[in-house]
Structure formats: C-alpha cells, structure tokens
Amino acid sequence: MPKRAHDDAIFTISFDQATALRQLVDVVQPVLTRACFTVKPSGKDGVLTLCVDTIDPSHMCMVQAKLECYGTLKSASHQFTIDSKMVQTCLKNVSSHHAVELSAREGSADLFLVSFDMLTKQKDLAFELPTYEEAAERLEIDTIEYDATTEVDLGSFKRILKLGADLEAENMTLVVYEAPAKEGVKGFRIDAAGKGTASFRRSLMGAKSELDGSAATVDVSDATGMAEVCSSSFKIGFLGKFVKAMEQSTIEMRLGKNGAPMLLHYALGVPGSFVRFVVASNCEFPDDE
C-alpha cells in the first residue's frame, strides 16, 4: 500500500481495508472505555504494529492486542489514548472496501482518521479525534503458566453462554480432565446450573495435546475414571463481554490450576495479529452488578 505520510506526521499507519481495525476496536470496546494504543516497529521493513497492552479500569482483566499495518514512525514508539466507543462509531461508518489511515501530527493533540478509495485515492471520510493524557496500566501476560489449552468453535461457545443466560445460571465452570492412557491429552467441559431450573454440561471437543500440540478428540461429558487437571468458575455475563463482537470461527482458551485466570486468544485474521484477554475467575464488571 502506498505511504501517504504528512511532513509533520509523528506517525502514519494505514490499512488496506478497515475490517481488521474495526474488529480489534469492536472486541476491546466492551472492556476498555478508553483504549491506550502504542505504535511501534514490527521488525519487518515498512511494517508497524498497533498494540494494546493494559489492564481494564476495574482491574478484572488484562488486554493485549497486536495488529500489523503499513506506515512510518519518527520515533521509537508513540502512544495515544482514545475513546474506544467514539472510534468504533467512526469505523462503523467507513465502507468495508475503503482503506483507512491513522496519523498523529506535531503541534496537535488530535488523532486523524481518514478513509479513502484504494484505486482512486479519493478521500471519503475525515475525522479529527481528541486524545487523552492517560497511560496504560499493565502486567506481564506472558509470565502466567497454564496447564491446558483448547481451541473452541466460537459459535458453539456463544450458544453455550446464551443457554446459560436463558436458564438464569450466574456461573459457568470450566473443568479440564486428562484422559487415561493418553498422557498429555486433555478434555474440556463446561458445567452450569440454572436458577431453580435445569443444569447442563457440555464437552468442548478439539483439545490440544500439551506434548506435541496436535489436535485430539476427548469426550469428557462423562469424566468417570479421568483425573481432574484444573477448574475455574466465571460469571456468564462477564464472559459474554469478551466474545460479544468476535466474528472469526474459533477462539483459543488456556486454563491453569488454583483459580488462575483464563486466557482467551482471538486471531484477527491478519498474520501476527490478535486480541488476548486474561480473565479473572468469579469476577464481574461493576456495571454488571
């Protein structure tokens, strides 16, 4: 994609289509009212990375996101904080086949967002967005140890959350079992009990072997004779906020022992680009209480 940098630009980044950027903002917006972004080199020539690495305001989860983009950057990195709902509104009005350019300029505190036709380079929408003097509060996500990983069909997981909500179940427990005679192969199960009504359990197929990373099919709907590896409970409404805007087909889950937080890894459909949430067990956002 051709560079459209301004002479006074601190950075200029561009996306061939608005889809990936819109998806990133849509996914983090329910959790981060104001999102702190960092633009920095990706290590690839002419390619930068737009990153989020912070804790949500209520300290219930950590958020990490990376999205590769074309661009120019005058310094080693540049950080800006912006109202995520405002950016979401702007991006929703950008045509899906239009390119998007973000830039910050010397002498201005605003962020500039422009959409334009890739073929004609004709500008369509131009926004000037205010930024805020807020720094990201962060913890190291990569230092957390996990005992089990699974890749789950996103549509199925959303239906499970809806079923739990329809049954008025407040909590959902994710339990990991190890299959006998299959060292390293684990199965995931969801248990939930409705409010004075039915309870249900659902085996999540497609768990990964911790030994070689290969996919395995382990049915743990009846876990008789299987060893429990770990389990954690989560508020159903709390989990719903993280997956609400996700559109890709799968999501990766990682669980640890002793009530360790769960990691949700969501690929954005662009190589090297993702959103991750590290979610505390048995918590809920203040506006859910």
User: Contact at 8 Å (CB) between 190 and 160?
Assistant: yes
Could you tell me if residue 135 is inside a domain?
no
Considering 129, 157, 186, which residue would you say is the last residue of a domain? 129
Residue range 206-263, pLDDT digits in tens: 444 443 444 455 677 777 888 888 888 888 988 998 999 998 888 999 988 877 889 9
pLDDT tens-digit map of 96-143: 889 999 999 999 999 999 999 888 888 999 999 999 987 767 666 666
Give the model's confidence band at 28: pLDDT under 50 very low, under 70 low, under 90 confident, else very high: very high
95 and 207 part of one domain: no
CA–CA distance, 196 with 198 (Å, rounded to integer)? 7
Q: Is residue 137 part of a domain?
A: no
Q: Would residue 264 count as lying in a domain?
A: yes
Compute the mean pLDDT over every residue in the chain, rounded to the nearest whole number. 84
Q: What is the CATH number of the domain that holds 227?
A: 3.10.150.10
Q: What is the DSSP letter of 94?
A: S
Single out the residue in 129, 158, 193 at which a domain terminates: 129
- Highest mean pLDDT: which of 21-30, 116-125, 161-170, 201-210? 21-30
Based on the domain organization, do 90 and 204 belong to the same domain?
Answer: no
Highest average pLDDT, of 80-89, 167-176, 181-190, 197-206, comes from 80-89
Are residues 240 and 203 part of one domain? yes
Indicate if 267 and 222 belong to the same structural domain: yes
Residue 139 within any structural domain of the chain: no
Query: Do residue 65 and residue 180 come from a single domain?
Result: no
In residues, how long is the chain? 289
Q: What is the pLDDT of residues 152-165, one digit of tens each?
A: 889 989 999 998 88
Bridge partners, residue 48, by sequence:
41, 69
Task: Pick the closest to residue 66 from 58, 74, 57, 54 (CA basis).
Answer: 54
Host domain of residue 84:
9-129
The residue type of 152 is V
| Same domain, yes or no: 21 and 120 | yes
